[in-house]
Amino acid sequence: MRRAEDLDVRGRTVLVRADLNVPLDDRGAITDDGRIRASLPTIRELLDRDAKVIVCAHFGRPKGDDYAARAAGGPSLAPVAARLAELLGRPVPLAADVAGESARAVAGGLADGQVAMLENVRFEPAETSKDDEARGELAGRLAALADLYVGDGFGAMHRKHASVYDTPLLLPRAAGQLVLAEVAVLRQLTTGPARPYVVVLGGAKVSDKLAVIGNLVGKADRLLIAGGMAYTFLAAQGHQTGDSILQEDQIPQVSMALAQAAKAGAEVLLPVDHVVADRFAADAPPEIVPGPDIPDGTMGLDIGPATRELFARKLADAKTVFWNGPPGVFEFPAFAAGTLAVAEAISHVTGLTVVGGGDSAAAVRALGLPADAFTHISTGGGASLEYLEGRDLPGLAALEAGA
Ligand code: ADP
Ligand code: MG
């Protein structure tokens, strides 16, 4: 894969596909700008070398059948462009469209060393279309804005989308620093990790993570399972889960994964106690349940103190750790202790420690742990999981194609 640093960019227009899909609060303020910050090194490096930089990114899930409806409904990338401008310390004008008249005017008006942004690429229905021709048409318009393409949106690399997959194929292309860093770390996890290799999985839904579990049981020495997905595992072992989030239809697959792990000699650790509540709310009074079974009328929202200790012990001698998915509903302070305990235990590990997943990364930042507490905090949840599953990421494949 060619590196952006190896492209001759002086005086040329570079389309940078970034992942700037940051969370907003109810009033539209950015609550975690980690993804914008992670995109800065590549943009800065290109500007320092006098490129004209056009940043392309998606944002949220615009709804509507056509461009007009989506653009009217938003979300606009305006708050992201404003934050990017603040962080870069220079203006970042935002085109009024994605790859239309305004985008062409903005791109054409850039001087060397200047940067601008395109509007939310998902305003274009073709961006996510399954129809190759529709995506190709949009890719043609995007490619026409620039001389070169730099792929740096790691969090979108697992999507066969027009701006991720089709556009790079039309231009001389290279990978940005973020993508190169992500791939280097994930490659270490998949090829000969130092042992013990411990994987911590949490989050809401077990169905999101079954494929990666299947791939990791053969590679990891220990799997610590928590969060909402743990209840489906506990149910598969015959435990009661009360009103906890449970995916009953996944029990057969979960049982299979447990059998697979046993065969591979991987240790699977489930919660041995819980913090429960009578409803899913920040102000619900937390209660500790001292065993694996969850009483009727309550739901598990975090791992309990004994599990926190067990997991910390199982992490203490790790030489490689991959963590994806918060072990509890960390957004509610009363149910954040499990996430904090796991994050702290991992931060004490000497070895390669990787956090993957948008919510997990947000949790780390929300809990105020120093950024250097981990070797690497991945910006790509789905993308890093698919990489670890051993699947080809379309965005990476496009950057590698013929280069
Ligand atoms: P990531 O983005 O890191 O991959 P996920 O998207 O899989 O993580 O899951 C994150 C969500 O899982 C968080 O919003 C968190 O509140 C939720 N979660 C964790 N534990 C539980 C639980 N016990 N019950 C319900 N939701 C949970
Ligand atoms: Mg998530």
pLDDT of residue 209: 86
35 is annotated as an active-site residue = yes
d(CA 202, CA 301): 11
50 contacts 11 by C-beta, under 8 angstroms: yes
Pocket lining: 227 vs ligand 1, CB cutoff 6 Å: yes
Each residue of 255-297: pLDDT tens digit? 999 999 999 999 999 999 999 999 999 999 999 999 999 999 9
The tokens for 68 are: 């007009």
pLDDT of residue 316: 97
291, 365, 382, 391: which one is catalytic?
A: 382
Amino acid at 73: G
pLDDT of residue 192: 86
Q: Tell me how crowded residue 221 is: count the other CB atoms within 10 A of its CB.
A: 18
- CA Rg, the chain, in Å? 22
Pocket lining: 241 vs ligand 1, CB cutoff 6 Å: no
319 is annotated as an active-site residue = no
Atom of ligand 1 nearest to the CA of 331: 16
pLDDT of residue 397: 97
Q: Whose CA is nearest to atom 5 of ligand 1?
A: 203
The residues with which 320 forms a beta bridge, in sequence order, are: 197, 352
17, 34, 35, 209: which one is catalytic?
A: 35
Residue 368, judged by CB atoms within 10 A of its CB (0-12, 13-18, 19+), counts as: exposed
pLDDT of residue 217: 85
Pocket lining: 300 vs ligand 1, CB cutoff 6 Å: yes
142 contacts 100 by C-beta, under 8 angstroms: no
The tokens for 241 are: 């889960």
Low-confidence ranges of the chain (pLDDT < 70): 403
The closest alpha carbon to 36, from 58, 47, 20, 25, belongs to 20
